[in-house]
Structure 1
């Protein structure tokens, strides 16, 4: 492919039909090619914490990095850049030209289903980490797509909800992280949001897409829709939306041809949009990433090292009152307990989910580290908390002996009793149209299916199940379609008789049904088969074109009280307990918001009972966003782990055993209860008013809200402990220049006995403003590495953006003359130094 791709020259070769074609996608992950004009098809891929590649079904493994709130907790710009570079390498291995990331939507509420996908509740931290991530990614020639522009902050009614937000809050809180990233990193693409803002869908909002993004901020790149996020033809074209995704087109294509005939749009309008699409194509060509190649992955020592570093820095030490941490060789018997201990919860759900190249669980990481100090590790789950039973992937194999299952597809019903619910399996079947194998019991058949298979089809999934424990086993099934599950040739679960709709498969699947297979023997083969037909699913008009879906889970049936008692016994016999609790990708995911802030099931009961059994208990909470902790006063030791990607288990062990000193700090305020959160009660299904969500908190989001209300959180924004201590001193501030530039200088000293890294935060207060302002706002931060006894002088440069606010009446930014307070802090609630600066002349500006 020639690198000298001239956009204007190519444009002259395109017919009107070509131009129409270029403004919508080719399938799920590609743009349309025009070979005659030398326009290739560039490839796009999810997501924020990894490169999935082209396939949901039987996809290529990928490196999974920590979720964005984990990366945000690092406060480490250099680390974010290196993660972006590593993602760029992975994209090249998969032939991907455009990554659909990063996400910078502000977390209004702890309940947000995709809250874990954004870096922080604070726009400065959110935008700054995003900019570094983008710079790293694009240095490898891979386009970043910053998303979802804008105010896409909940999953409830996400295609239609209207975010009713004041202009000032929109500018200062929700647009600001996009603005910072565009100013400091120049992403090559922006993704528009599903939702409306103040009544108008963003994908057809000219003021946001053209007036603000392009004209005010000078954005030069391409704007694409979120997937199925275009709801108009002429309006979206004229508003500035360049590319409708995915294909085949719904709102463009023939609809656009008709709009041209009616002169609702003109060819000149298409030319403006096509130039932007060609601009991204040009970036793809210049990247050197090959076209139409097979997908690979990166698994090198260097990649594993950055995965481990990122996972370490995604961990925040919240309590260490008894100095249990770091664990020393005095602890010879370590009990590991909890629902998140034995399975690696690498990421949240939805578009962030991918097939990891490998994954270490907390239990595996702790076992390896304990072996080095000669300690014994015992384990039990303690309580089950899964929304869906765990996948059966480790326990299935083909009849031929290899891992996985056989999937057979028919375009016509293979026998008249194929969907029979009689006890015995039906009669022999006709030859299938196509067969394949899979290693997973979670199959969303969105893609990677042979083209000869019709969308309306019949599917058989068959495998051998081998339990690893004796006892009764509980199985679960949810599908996109109608299905029956047969176990050992007997009907176990019926989802073919009027199945109730649920929220599986992005809300298009059935409810999850469970049934018990009694008295199974460990190591014995059992036949497991699912028969599915998807005609009703296809006819229902799913927004996702697919062949259906199957998800099978299973777990040895546990009596909650018996297991809880067993966990208490193990804890009582240990020198120290590591209790790993939290959420998972079934509970925090795209597609739905959390119904509450509580940990699931009997988790809180488990925590309290383990505290009674052994006061030397370390709680590790693994969630992407805040949860309630009713037992917090009993906990002496608490670690927040987030979703840590491939290296979660090793990284956690590094922190617990003191190989690495924790340095993360919270990018989100943890409230004591949901009612304390700024968005309460105007959030989600219970907060909507006739399809509107009122952003009543205005600019007072996150810590800004807690401070203005003088409301103590459970843990404040920017908070995190270390195994050493730090002293702040010698604050100096420069005078403010005519352009509004100034600097803040101070010294940080490690006053402890081990190496450590400290995140210093600079907040600015404006108590003389003509409009209400937050008590203080984060405007700069740095991460400093210090040896014991070492001190370093740090200088941070700031500008008028650190002083200003948005005056919605004047429609401009303003920094009013007067005195401002400068706080240097270890967290938003731990202010170490204070100074003042004076702005002698009011400054106003528009745009960047």
Structure 2
């Protein structure tokens, strides 16, 4: 018996080793063949285990609240699937898991402003680690949607307007997440660019223009991050729903890009059983759809309108993604080092803060003995964006105010402030100054108090939330008037913006400095103080264009604004800018924005050499010198400015470099040939001819041009 027991142990150990090292495709196929039909169906539609008034699919009572749940299959050692949102931290929907908190990172735009792929990977690993420690094995992160419109309600979640920047940072974030044995998504494929009528809007654009912009961002993210899952979007693309778009899911995603993972729907974005034939593998949050399409309706459709092989194929894709990153390991809750993760969050917040204007008043001078801080809640906390990405921070939220509105907003529309006080942080870092606070509720009172201070810091906020757009560049609640009055009363006024989108600045010429802090997460108060006092030298660069007026943009307001998103209004948006998203549009139209993509100041100065471009290897080399007296980080930006006589503007490379005072360093940037090419219909075509490049301090502030002749080449899709 002893020998038999030992033999059994060796067999089991060998099986575990095989499970860890076997080819995930072969392993998925082997496990799928052992599954019953019921077990296969249990993987292709899932619950959203959060209390809801809707739903043909009630959630089992024993399932802990989460974004999504698929039951385990013990006999096959399959732990099931527990899904959680999102890119900014592990969420707790409706705070349903009592007492459960997570590290709240800055917004996606703040991460994008860092231009730092390594930071994206490390913050991804931090979120992935917390998700795994909380018992989740799929993270609904990896937001790749480009900012096409300044008013988009979810822009704060994403990574800006440039396909290279968004693709690289999303890919690195996904890599970090999946290093923790957690499957990451990339979302939302594709053109989910506005929240207004997001369930019924038709995004219309030519294929070449889509390939050269939004799809290229996803393509780069998939190549770098290899996500296990793709989440399709609510909207249509050229008349076909994203989650039922055969061209998008089968031809482009799987055919051209060779994607091996699975496609999950957004919650409430499945339209029928035939969506599986069009490339959808999994119906997510089934109670948000009109019915569970991937259960009885799919059973009836198999072998008729849906090929019978589609079901096992989808199951194999799902299994394969979990096996590929080890996400099939048993789910168990383990301790989390929140203090270490807070340090990552603080670093990320500081790296993403952008100094937009500074006439020398910053960093805060030691001679400023009396400082008045003005702005609602600036004495207590930091604003965050709302919706499915909302994180319940460590320590709990400072304020959680119900917003109301649509059914979605009734559930997820809360204005949440992070418990990180800028006032307390500044008092700690400036112990020799007297720092007072005024909420700004009465602009006249705030201005009267400002007149007696050496310097005034005005904290202004703009709250954004999933499901609605904000079609105004003005700061809400009369804050522009507040800033005007304070600046008139005190010539030393500094504005700190906590926003999820660009804002107009009618008072720009009347203040001495402007700092864009975005939504800076649970450590935001300390990070903002770090930058204001000079403990951190600001190095963020704008990942989106700040227009001077709404009329400068391709669309001055959302299409269909004010109409209910109930499916009765079918609306189209013609993306007239095509591939010229963001700064490309402004350059092509010769329109000068308020602040350009890539803009950002420092407390030191940098000098760049003319770029040397290697046309054979497709790379650029530039030397960077810190000519100032402070250590700091520069973001080197390489732009394509002319292609065979055609004037254009494309970010072709970037690199973040840390330099000590007086230090010089050579930076080499690889150039992705797709950024120089045009979509030919069957692939990428780089035409022979002359290509001009320049190093820029922004997309608008360019240095000397270097021209190189390139040979023709083609690149497969």
TM-score tier by shorter-chain length is: 0.7 to 0.9
Aligned residue number for residue 724 of structure 1: 604
Distance, in Å, in 2 between the alignment partners of 1:55 and 1:3 is 40
Partner of 2:452: 573
- Equivalent residue for 1:845? 715
Deviations 1:288-347 (A, max 9, x none): 7542x45864412x22221111010110001111x1101122111110001251342352
Structure 2: gaps of 5 or more residues? 1-14, 20-26, 50-67, 396-418
- The answer to whether structure 1 residue 277 and structure 2 residue 277 are counterparts is no
Aligned length: 647
Question: Counterparts of 1:833 and 1:32 in 2: how far apart (Å)?
Answer: 60
Q: Verify: 1:620 aligned to 2:487, yes or no.
A: no
Q: Which moved more, 1:217-226 or 1:133-142?
A: 133-142
1:639 Cα deviation (Å)? 0.5
Where 1:180 maps in the other structure, the secondary structure is helix
C-alpha distance in 2 between matches for 1:153 and 1:595: 14
User: 1:89 — aligned with what?
Assistant: 129
Alignment match, 1:749: 625
Kept in 2: contact 1:108–1:153 (CA 8 A): yes
Find the aligned partners of 1:156 and 1:146 in 2 and give their Cα distance. Answer: 22
**Alpha carbons of structure 1 residues 596 and 39: separation in structure 2 relative to 1, 3 Å:** same
1:773-806 Cα shifts (integer Å, max 9, x gaps): 6621001000111111111111112242232122
Superposed counterparts of 1:512-523, under 5 Å: none
What is the CA-CA distance between 1:682 and the residue it aligns to?
A: 6.2
Matched ranges for 1:597-608 at <5 A: 597-608=473-484
Aligned partner of 2:297 in structure 1 is: 255
Q: Quick one: distance in 1 between partners of 2:363 and 2:648?
A: 36
Summarize deviations over 1:191-218 as a string: whole Å, max 9, x none.
0111110111011111111110011011
1:825 corresponds, among 696, 714, 717, to 696
| Matches of 1:312 and 1:120, distance apart in 2 | 18
Q: Report the Cα distance in structure 2 between the residues aligned to 1:599 and 1:697, rounded to whole angstroms.
A: 27
For normalisation by structure 2, the TM-score amounts to: 0.87
Q: Secondary structure at the match of 1:382?
A: coil
Distance between the aligned counterparts of 1:583 and 1:843, measured in 2? 47
2:353 aligned with 1:315: yes
CA contact (8 A) 2:183 2:322 kept: no
CA distance in 1, matches of 2:578, 2:473: 22
Equivalent residue in structure 2 for 1:31, among 66, 70, 79? 70
Rounded Cα–Cα distance in structure 2 between residues aligned with 1:183 and 1:343:
42
Q: 1:813 aligns with which of 684, 694, 707?
A: 684
**Residue aligning to 1:17:** 38
CA distance in 2, matches of 1:690, 1:91: 38
Q: Among 434, 440, 451, which residue is 1:376 paired with?
A: 434
- Aligned residue runs from structure 1 range 302-341, under 5 A: 302-321=340-359, 323-339=360-376, 341=378
Instruction: Give the CA deviation at 1:55.
Output: 6.2
The structure with the larger Rg is 1
In 2, Cα distance between the equivalents of 1:49 and 1:296? 20
Instruction: Please state whether the residue corresponding to 2:670 is helix, strand or coil.
Output: strand
Cα distance in 2 for residues equivalent to 1:123 and 1:642:
21
1:69-468 matched pairs, under 5 angstroms: 69-233=109-273, 235-247=274-286, 250-260=292-302, 263-283=304-324, 286-287=326-327, 290-291=330-331, 293-294=332-333, 297-300=336-339, 302-321=340-359, 323-339=360-376, 341-358=378-395, 359-371=419-431, 374-383=432-441
Q: 2: distance between equivalents of 1:768 and 1:749?
A: 32
In structure 2, C-alpha distance between the alignment counterparts of 1:742 and 1:761, rounded to whole Å: 15
Instruction: Considering fraction of residues, name the structure with more helix.
Output: 2
Q: Please give the alpha-carbon distance, in whole angstroms, between the structure 2 residues aligned to 1:39 and 1:83.
A: 28
How many Å separate the matches in 2 of 1:681 and 1:287?
Answer: 42
Residues 1:801 and 2:681 aligned together = no
Q: Structure 1 regions of 5+ residues with no counterpart?
A: 384-562
